[in-house]
Amino acid sequence: MFLDRNLLFSDEQDIGAGSGTQVSDYSVSLGTAKNLARGRQLYLIIIIDETFATSTSINFQFVTDTLATLASPTVQMETGAIAIASLTAGRAPIVIPIGSAIGTEEQYCGVQYTEAGSNSTAGKVTAFLGVDSP
């Protein structure tokens, strides 16, 4: 699998350092055409770089927004709550197929991370858009 830096949302982003809900460090501009897929299936791919600790679960959400900062995101797709016990470094990537209508209204897309339970004390992720599923 090839990783395009322009499609990177989080690069070993420390989700465990924050609390509650956080957005990815980077967003991807869908441009004026808003058609990155060009007929191919897109995937949100999330890799756990550091094992999570303390919180109960995390919901990974693919979001869009009119702002590059993802200040007021619209949730398009989500994993639902994933138990912290299964979010260990080296596990199989979390893969979310992205629908073809995503991004037709808002220019930017990214990832939102929502913790449930107490705040994490550890946990890092890398997240990106890919055209190949790992």
pLDDT digit string (tens) for 19-66?
Answer: 688 999 999 888 754 556 667 788 999 999 999 887 788 999 999 999
pLDDT score of 106 more than 90: no
Q: Point out the least confidently predicted range of 33-37, 65-69, 76-80.
A: 33-37
Structure tokens at 14: 């420390």
pTM of structure: 0.86
Distances (CA, A) of 85 to 18, 53, 62, 98, 122: 19, 8, 22, 26, 12
pLDDT of residue 26: 94
Which three-class secondary structure state does DSSP give residue 56?
A: coil
pLDDT at position 33 is: 47
pLDDT score at 107: 86
Q: CATH code for 5-130?
A: 2.60.120.1110
Query: What are the domain boundaries of the chain?
Result: 5-130
